[in-house]
Structure 1
Amino acid sequence: MLYSKKFINIYREILSFLLVGGFTFIIDYAGLYVLTEIFNINYLISSGISFTAAVIVNYYLCVRYVFKNTGKIGKKAKVLFLGSSIAGLGLNQVCMYFFVSVVGIYYMIAKLVSTAIVTMWNYIMKKRALKN
């Protein structure tokens, strides 16, 4: 056998995480656009709202489909997951502000860059939170 069972499980977990992340990214990205363009809400406020909605959906899907070998999730894991999500929101907002207000990138493009950065953060931190 070329690949160990552990390698295959990690591969599946990462693939599942990316699929769930892709779905919740659509929620985040579409929410940002709708809130900013249709409801005329400032891009930073829209970004915070859409990110939070996506995190709620992401939490459920991660627990249900991605990190399913975690067993019953304890209070500590929930707190760590929530804490990592709040930190991810902060990182998202800092990136959005920096790329839009400092660098001058269109907010929808800045969201793509911000998402790439926050995705790496989220995978590492949520995996740690849910495996404890």
Structure 2
Amino acid sequence: MKKLINQLIKFGIVGGIAFVIDYGLLYICTEWFGIYYFISAIISFSVSVIFNYIASILWVFDVDKNKSKTTNFIVFIALSIVGLGINQIIMWYGVEILHIYYMIVKLVATVIVMIFNFITRKIFLE
């Protein structure tokens, strides 16, 4: 149980940093560079995934040493693509259908994707 709590704390720290990267880049790309929010969300999410991968593999999860680094990377990226899909569906629905400000919708999307990420990475990477 202590191991799981430590892992959740580390996941939270990594996730918090990844969130700052994701949220910050979303805002910068959209507001400063005039990129459509939906495209900005893909860019920001992708950059945060790269950080998250490196930090998760090195610090958060006890990665299965029997799997190759390539296999772990492919699994991580596949799960991240699903997470991106969830993120984009929530962003589209919240902004286009519910007419909520994109930065608020991003907060909801982040929480849902973070839960998805922890559960699936725990299952498939350890």
> Which amino acid in 1 is paired with 2:96?
S
Deviation at 1:130, TM superposition (A): 1.4
Change (3 A) 1:56 1:97: same
Maintained 8 Å contact 1:78/1:129? no
Corresponding residue number in structure 1 for 2:13:
19
Distance in 2 (alpha carbons) for counterparts of 1:13 and 1:80: 19
Q: Provide structure 1 residue ranges, at least 5 long, that are not aligned to the other structure.
A: 1-6
Mapped pair 1:111 → 2:102: no
Task: Give the TM-score, by structure 1 length.
Answer: 0.90
Change (3 A) 1:78 1:69: closer
**Residue among 10, 14, 29 paired with 1:35:** 29
Output the aligned Cα RMSD.
1.3
Offset from partner CA, 1:44-98 (integer Å, 9 cap, x none)? 0000000000000000000011014543652333222111000001110000000
Secondary structure of 2:14's aligned partner: helix
Deviation at 1:23, TM superposition (A): 0.3
Distance in 1 (alpha carbons) for counterparts of 2:66 and 2:102: 39
Corresponding residue number in structure 1 for 2:74:
79
Q: Provide structure 2 residue ranges, at least 5 long, that are not aligned to the other structure.
A: none
Change (3 A) 1:72 1:26: farther
Distance in 1 (alpha carbons) for counterparts of 2:41 and 2:3: 33
Corresponding residue number in structure 2 for 1:54:
48
Mapped pair 1:126 → 2:126: no
Q: Following superposition, which runs of at least 4 residues in structure 1 exceed 4 angstroms of deviation?
A: none
- Percent identity at matched positions? 41
Task: Give the TM-score, by structure 2 length.
Answer: 0.94
Maintained 8 Å contact 1:81/1:125? no
Maintained 8 Å contact 1:13/1:67? yes
Corresponding residue number in structure 2 for 1:4:
none
Secondary structure of 1:40's aligned partner: coil
Secondary structure of 1:127's aligned partner: helix
Maintained 8 Å contact 1:88/1:121? yes
